[in-house]
Structure 1
Amino acid sequence: MDLGLSGRVAVVTAASKGLGRASALALAAEGARVLVSARTASLLDELVAEIAAAGGEAHAVVGDMTDPALPARLVEVALERWGRLDVVVANAGGPPTGRALDVDDDALLAAFQVNALASIRLARAAVPHMTERGWGRVVFIASASVKQPIRDLALSNTARTALWAWTKTAAADVAASGITINVAAPGLHATDRLLERGVPAGARTGTPEDFGKVVTFLCSEPAAFVNGTAVAVDGGATLGLL
């Protein structure tokens, strides 16, 4: 299947490792030119080199998505370098663990900044340019917790669900413009964050590589009618019907 991504330009944040990195590699494998961003320059350099070695094209911008100026800068760099912007994959690391009644105001606000507002800022900066071309894909990497809250992850549950609600609202606003906005909601994948928290006994885990392919499909031409959806990529672990 031709995903229609060859020659398109994508921005991927928190791309230095884990699910963001896998998404950048999968997009590049389909012929997209990828602008990758994260806080660690050395890891970004390794990613750019890997993409180049495979025949792809990538460029890195070091930055922290909690910086309100970074989303607009990423869009500007993509436009300056390649003259277009077609795809945004907004990713961010998860907040600390904590139970709902234990987390304080500062922790909640910090989680909202990282796991909701940073991604929304990037979409707001990118969508006008996509609208001009009549085509665009925005995918937010969130968590399966938007469908089924995870105990002891109150900050993630709250902030990522806020992003999902914004997505559902914004998707209807852009649908007539050839743009889709969706959430990719991962379950347990073999990433550093999961290893830090510990894998539940008997749990089935996915690979970042497979997750990246799902994100890439959501960014594709054939996914034009997939809009305002949270796609659970969790091996069937989420038990809810919605």
Structure 2
Amino acid sequence: MTKQFKIGDRVRCVSESVRLKRGAVYTIAGQTGIYVQLLETGRTDYYASRFELADESYSPPPPSKFKKGDTVRCVSSASLYGNKLEAGDVYKVEAVSRDLVRVEGVNALWLHCRFERITPTATSGEARKARGQAAAARRAGSEWAARAIAALKLFCMESYKRGVTRVTLDEFRAAGRVDEPESANAWGSLPRSAARLGFLRDTGHTMKAGREKAHARLVKVWAIQPRAL
């Protein structure tokens, strides 16, 4: 008969494994059939039979400090089931529970201590720049935009296959995958369109552009989202 635990139960490991230490005490974050999830690791594939109730009182943590839609920065890198968090990267909260957070673009649950909330502030100059880029893209025409976004997606697919997980618009322009629009400002709207389509994510980082014509200005670094390619 499968052992049944409830969220918040303190349990002691009675069967050691690679990731579990016999005698160590953990906290149940959930149970699905024969499997339990541990608060301390976030993993969901531990057999319930590996644990027994521990004689320890447990005070539940305070409610999550995040809510859906919050912008957060990762403060502690982690990897789980092939999903990675990079310290310093910026994410948007997709779902929260008392102890765990799921962020857009990373298909896993994470302890909220790995994040801090930030308040993104766009200057009036940045807002004007974004509006100008959008207007330039409209002037360039829907045909150019469609060609450009398709070329950018293919560029991301090929880059990811080579092991590249982050790209910049400057690198895409240097690759010469699409013709120049009537206004150079039209380029700026492409990454945001790609982000709306889900195959790029703004990391919150910048780097110096490599093209000579870019004069080493700072450009945004975008993370490729392979599931959307």
Find the structure with the greater CA-based Rg.
2
The bucket for the TM-score relative to the shorter chain is under 0.3
TM-score, normalised with respect to structure 1? 0.23
TM-score by length of 2: 0.24
